[in-house]
Amino acid sequence: MKKRLPLIDAAREHVARGIPDDLLRFSFRLLQSTRKFGQEHATDASTYLQQLLRRLQAVSTLRVAEFRAGKDKSLRAHRHQWHTTTERLGFKHLTEEWDDHEAWQFQLSANKHGRVHGILVDEVFYVVWLDPEHRLYQ
């Protein structure tokens, strides 16, 4: 059995073992379901979770710069322009510590299964809303 480094050295363990440390990661600590957003609003609930996990797995192989560049047309990742959405105040339910961070979205699949909305801080994408019906623009 391999000896694990103490948690404090976890970032250095990536470097020491040659594991990429600049890949996109996901956090769900800000995830919120509302009357409008959440996986329970998926028309095809039987395949939604499967598609979501597949997409998260694929996106987590990208470096942050690749995600930001938006070159993957199937991902359609881009920053929010809140004034063009139905939620003009953005993620208003979050505390002000999140106000200065960029809000992003990406799609799960072409015109099916909707979008994932969240905040990108360094290499962590904090998922805020799951939008299976793409309601942010309706």
Q: What is the pLDDT of residues 77-114, one digit of tens each?
A: 999 988 888 888 888 888 888 888 889 999 987 667 78
Domain layout of the chain by residue ranges? 23-137
pLDDT value at residue 3: 58
Q: How many residues does the chain have?
A: 138
- pLDDT at 7 > cutoff 60: no
Cβ–Cβ under 8 Å, residues 131 and 114: yes
Supply the DSSP symbol for 43.
T
Which of 65, 55, 68 has its CA nearest to residue 26? Answer: 55
Residues 6+ apart with CB under 8 A from 95: none
Strands 78-79 vs 102-109: parallel, antiparallel or unpaired: antiparallel
| 82 vs 137: CA distance, rounded Å | 10
Provide the Cα torsion 93, 99, 101, 104; round to 10°: 40
Q: Within 13 Å of residue 73, how many CA atoms lie on the same side as its CB?
A: 0
pLDDT value, residue 128: 95
DSSP 3-state assignment of 68? helix
| The pLDDT value given to residue 1 | 54
Range from 22-26, 89-93, 110-114, 131-135 that averages highest in pLDDT: 22-26
Name residue 117's amino acid.
Answer: H
